Structure 1
Amino acid sequence: MAEEKNIEEELSSPILMAERIRKAVDEAECFKMECCEVGKQVDRLSHMLRSAVRFATSTPSLYEHPLRRIVAEVSKNLERALTLVRKCKHSGVLRRVVTITTSATDFRKVSGVLDASTGDMTWLLSIFDSVASGGIVYSLPPIASNDPMLSWVWSYVAFIQMGPLADRIEAANSLAPLALDNDRNKKIIVEEGGVPPLLRLLKESGSPDAQIAAATALLNLATDQERVHIIAAEHGIPMIVQVLFDSPMRVQIAVANLVASMAEHDHVAQEEFSRENAIRPLVSLLSIDVVLDEPKPNHGKPSIHSIVQNHKQMGKKPSATTTQNQNHSTHSRSSSSSSVYYSDSIGRYGHNKKDRENEKPEVKLELKISCAKALWMLSKGCVSNSRMITETKGLLCLAKLIEKEQGVLQHHCLMTVMEITAAAESNADLRRAAFKTNSPPAKAVVEQLLRMIGEVNSPSLQIAAINSIGSLARTFPARETRVIGPLVTQLANTNMNVAAEAAIALGKFACPENFLCVEHSKAIIEFGGVPPLIRLLRANEQDQFHGLTLLCHLALHVGNSEALERARALTALEGAVRNVAAQNPSLKELISKAIYHLEVYQSGIHPHKQSYVP
């Protein structure tokens, strides 16, 4: 109920109690000297409380958390003092009883707690004075003597909320490492109301330093679902997206990192970022200096429709002068393409064009890395965000960056593609819309995935690329055998994780759920997939599972293959029934079917053996 009172009501209670103590001191019949000392302490507290009232009523953005906490403690101690002083009013027999039951020790204890309250109020007023005059207070109030972190958080948050801009920035920069230290500090910052003033500081569009300080502190807080929920509940996501739209690059880097962390830790935040259209500025910023389409010469006179579309894209209306001068500017427009439109669209999501062009290459690279990670986290397990990336030329941009870049940026882009393809695997509509066989972005992505599988000597990148190709298994026609060969090659990879991932991906081509499973199974055998697959069965139990599953599919679909017979696939499966499959009933049943199928063909019952060995 105390939280429901306004701050004036909160402060009026101890002030009235101080008046009652003063009256009780005047009426005291015993321990008069001690009561007078208590009265003096209470007078000091009353004066401080009235000063706090004046500050509270004149400050529109008052930080109330320490004030409420300290005032509640002061009220408790004043009540204790009032009870003691009132005992001293009695005379006669009751006075002798009071003398017996009350001692100087009781007054020393009350005096101690009143001194502590005076110290708390002194600290609180010093915070208020410092906010007005500038300069952060680092002293420790008695109320926080057992937990100094509480007073530091109060000081920093007070300045972030009420101080001048320079002090707000300094306080946010001091709060950020506290949040980074441990989860307890994060909890205190959130519980003591640190999130709303940080979000307000993030809106300081005139000060990039303020925005970066706020974004960094929020990033350090946004490391679990509960705290991300709190940031979102304070309407933080629309604010964050707005800053992402129209801030300098170095601010956008910090904000993109914040988006990535919030999306990573909370699926609800993922969805809200989607609703706030965070994908478009991220893709646009990622595509800075990236040519997304080849130029398409246009030697003829442009149509009125194309002129209108050009101006719409540039955010302008076509004028009569512009239309009359089209013949003179045909050549300059002919060298443009949709990539130019996309580059211009970035202007709506960044600072001004000149600032972007003059920015250092390392800053642009850092921004792309941050945006790529944000897109990765936003697309992770989220179909709606994955769809939005594919609808904003994001696939083509990711393919270009995977091709041209290396290191962290290439990794983040590849991981984003992996998440998008995983979403497409689970969602037929997305799969059909984004990964049509004649789609240039889809072709570009597949080309880069195959290149990463075959040419890159990095198991983590190879695994991500193989995983992506496997997720797209149902999009490839039977004639598209070029995706099978690189996967079969990786079955023999010395890194067992890569080999197992290849078996998983090929299993998606050969599984019965794939309409072209028979054709793909034939292609796997034709590319020599059986020998390395048999060797994979000697690996650990998990890798054996994937290898056995693929081998069973091959046996069921192309059981008459001489390659399976020469590799003694039947013997391998019979051994697996006794060993690995004993603990997995579903796999045991699949192996039993495969064994029966191979026995039918290899016993000569089927008259038409065919070889699919190259």
Structure 2
Amino acid sequence: MMGDGVKSMLAKPIHLAEQVRKLAGDAQSSRPECAELQVRAERLAALLRQAARAELYGRLAARIIDETSDVLAKALALVAKCRRGHNLVRRLFTILPANALPRMSAQLDNCIADVSWLLRISSPQADDDGLHGLPNIARDEPMLCLIWEHIARLHTGSSDARADSAAQLASLARDSDHFAKLIIEEDGVGPLVRFLKEGSEEGQESAARALGYLGRDPESVEHLVHAGACSAFAQVLKDAPVRVRAAAAWAVAELAAHHPECQDVFFQHNVVRLLVVHLANETVQEHSRYSVVGPSKAMSLHSVVLAHTKSIRAANQHQISQPSQHQNQHQNHNQIHSVVQSAIAAKSTNGVGAAAALKSYNNLGPGPSKGRREAEDPETKAYLKAMAANALWRLAQGNISICQSITESRALLCFAVLLEKGIGRVRYYSAMALMEIARVAEHNVMLRQSAFKPSSPTAKAVVDQLLRIVWTGVYDELLQPSITALGCLSRTFQASETRIIGPLVALLDESEAAVSKEAVIALTKFACSENHLHVNHCKAVIDAGGARHLVQLVYLGEQVQIEALILLCYIALHVPDSEELAQAGVLAVLLWASKQAHMVQDSRVESLLPEAKARMELFQSRESR
């Protein structure tokens, strides 16, 4: 909208137009041409006064006013040469080009057209008339005119017109980086943010998508953040219809993906909590409680689930350790829901009642919003859940605070359930979110100990689902993030946890090089010296037949060659006296690798290979005596 600054700018062109009108009326020479200038100046002055009383699109108004002022200043200088009072000698030496006055009339006509166009697009009564022509000010960039019109309609149009303009801006931003930058440069973000907060359902959805498409680079995302987009998304996620919430969650994911530095701003506006609520809705019961209740008030969900899973885990421990028994695995991963249900039933008898939980959830938004959510079709609710998982994935990338917030909520349990029962893209987003949280936990001891401790039933549920995906070995979009997550969690497993290594070793024989490489990297995290159970894990890799696969990969696996060599070095370093390593010819592989220039140039190989080779030579020499 037009502020006081733009209104004050109008004083200058109005004053110039009046001066041009007056001097043109007093002209002594070129009277017909000056009369034309006088008429145009009078018309322009009237339009500028009308503009001063209207609500205009500020940036465009300032641009048109500035150009109009320049034209009027030139017109004033021109008519001053034709005014009365000049003596004959001065008029003789004041020579005007023949086409100077007609050309100036044409320029004033252009200014009149531009100011008239500005008034038309700024009129609420004209917002449904479609496009209003191409102004002269946009002759070098026709699409700029379209962007201006839609931004102006967002300022002054009716609700339907604003919704249509938001959709059009979203389409333009989606189709072109250049158009997206123009929308930002022409101050289109502010009205989109306002319309996201106060528009109709369809308009809010379009505004959210437009903002998501605009945030396609760090600079653009910074602009959106400073314009208040984060608080607008938080408001929408709290009390808007389901379709709008889904669009907002998608936009949050887009902004976080293109500029991770905005993660903390979203976190400060409570966006993570709201996303977890939508993820948990109809996924696990009592999803309204964001944080686990402290032991001083009531038994936590984790402790209740643990109590109900102890007997199950004890009965199935031996069966789970034998991966070939698929029937036992299927029984194990299907126990998640029954465990959760019985745990919550037991918890409802404690100090936290169902009524309090329901009240907590309803406080997230007004009553009508909850009603709309329940009445929404399953496809829309599933899409919201997928977008919530997508946003949590993007927000969790490399952010310890957000990962801690997510793991302290029901989200980990939700991800486990959605990996098993989810439909569509929500399974992929859940896997990616777990992978990012595991990556952060790999380098943060406190997060590992709090979220993925071995006694945690939620952590066990997550591992069960990741392991089920890895064990199937189907090359799909879930396999690689599941492998990565298990590798990042390698330091959380106890020595008694023997079911992880086998499925990973089985993937070393995978035809897809990307899968084999990811499995090698994951196993390296189990076998490396930094893992306090490295000896146990190295023996488990050997027992699962990993040595033979690794030898083949070092010789023939072009994309995974160096990674396989590093893992083989760790195994040789920690279990050098293994007969299986001797039979697989590991020492010969290490000797061969030490002569390959492209391998020894890797700093990791350079530090590991000589010691591993020396250990193998030492122990094999003892065996031969």
Alignment TM-score, normalising by the size of structure 1: 0.88
Would you say 1:559 and 2:576 are equivalent positions? yes
Would you say 1:291 and 2:284 are equivalent positions? yes
Q: 1:549 to 1:122 in 2, by over 3 A?
A: same
Per the alignment, residue 105 of structure 1 pairs with 99
The superposition leaves residues 65-119 of structure 1 with CA deviations (integer Å, 9 ceiling, x where unpaired) of: 1111111111110111111111123221111111xx3122111221221111111
> How far apart are 1:27 and its partner, in Å?
3.2
Per the alignment, residue 366 of structure 1 pairs with 383
Per the alignment, residue 92 of structure 1 pairs with 88
Would you say 1:66 and 2:60 are equivalent positions? yes
> How far apart are 1:524 and its partner, in Å?
1.2
The superposition leaves residues 223-262 of structure 1 with CA deviations (integer Å, 9 ceiling, x where unpaired) of: 1111111111012201211110111111111111111101
Q: 1:576 to 1:469 in 2, by over 3 A?
A: same
Would you say 1:470 and 2:487 are equivalent positions? yes
2:192 and 2:398 mapped to 1: Cα distance?
29
Alignment TM-score, normalising by the size of structure 2: 0.86
* Aligned residues of 2:127 and 2:153 also touching (Cα < 8 A): no
Structure 1 unaligned blocks of 5 or more: 317-343, 608-614
SS of 1:578's partner is coil
Q: What amino acid maps onto 2:250 in structure 1?
A: N
Matches within 5 A, 1:444-455: 444-455=461-472
Per the alignment, residue 357 of structure 2 pairs with 313
* Percent identity (aligned): 38
Per the alignment, residue 324 of structure 2 pairs with none
Would you say 1:201 and 2:205 are equivalent positions? no
Would you say 1:569 and 2:569 are equivalent positions? no
> How far apart are 1:544 and its partner, in Å?
0.9
Q: What amino acid maps onto 1:217 in structure 2?
A: A
* Aligned residues of 1:281 and 1:346 also touching (Cα < 8 A): no
> How far apart are 1:557 and its partner, in Å?
0.2
> How far apart are 1:134 and its partner, in Å?
4.4
> How far apart are 1:125 and its partner, in Å?
1.8
Would you say 1:265 and 2:283 are equivalent positions? no
Per the alignment, residue 31 of structure 1 pairs with 30
Per the alignment, residue 157 of structure 1 pairs with 151
SS of 1:314's partner is helix
> How far apart are 1:130 and its partner, in Å?
4.8
> How far apart are 1:347 and its partner, in Å?
6.5
SS of 1:315's partner is helix
Q: What amino acid maps onto 2:535 in structure 1?
A: V
Q: What amino acid maps onto 1:226 in structure 2?
A: E
Q: What amino acid maps onto 1:37 in structure 2?
A: E
Which residue of the other structure, out of 158, 165, 169, is the alignment partner of 1:171?
A: 165
Would you say 1:583 and 2:565 are equivalent positions? no
2:205 and 2:471 mapped to 1: Cα distance?
41
> How far apart are 1:354 and its partner, in Å?
3.7
Matches within 5 A, 1:267-416: 267-291=260-284, 293-296=340-343, 306=351, 310-315=354-359, 348=365, 352-416=369-433
Per the alignment, residue 42 of structure 1 pairs with 41
1:272 and 1:264 mapped to 2: Cα distance?
14
1:298 and 1:189 mapped to 2: Cα distance?
53
> How far apart are 1:355 and its partner, in Å?
3.0
Per the alignment, residue 460 of structure 1 pairs with 477
> How far apart are 1:540 and its partner, in Å?
4.5
Q: 1:228 to 1:351 in 2, by over 3 A?
A: farther
* Aligned residues of 1:284 and 1:346 also touching (Cα < 8 A): no
1:300 and 1:555 mapped to 2: Cα distance?
50
Q: 1:584 to 1:181 in 2, by over 3 A?
A: same
Per the alignment, residue 252 of structure 1 pairs with 245
Q: What amino acid maps onto 1:8 in structure 2?
A: K
> How far apart are 1:358 and its partner, in Å?
2.7
Q: 1:255 to 1:601 in 2, by over 3 A?
A: same
* Aligned residues of 1:600 and 1:606 also touching (Cα < 8 A): no
Q: 1:190 to 1:14 in 2, by over 3 A?
A: same
Per the alignment, residue 515 of structure 1 pairs with 532
Per the alignment, residue 211 of structure 2 pairs with 218
> How far apart are 1:175 and its partner, in Å?
1.6
Q: 1:539 to 1:409 in 2, by over 3 A?
A: farther
Q: What amino acid maps onto 2:448 in structure 1?
A: R
1:156 and 1:235 mapped to 2: Cα distance?
20
Q: What amino acid maps onto 2:341 in structure 1?
A: E
Structure 2 unaligned blocks of 5 or more: 286-339
Q: What amino acid maps onto 1:490 in structure 2?
A: L
The superposition leaves residues 167-220 of structure 1 with CA deviations (integer Å, 9 ceiling, x where unpaired) of: 111111222111112111111111111001111111126x21121121121122
Q: 1:262 to 1:300 in 2, by over 3 A?
A: closer
Which residue of the other structure, out of 451, 457, 480, is the alignment partner of 1:434?
A: 451
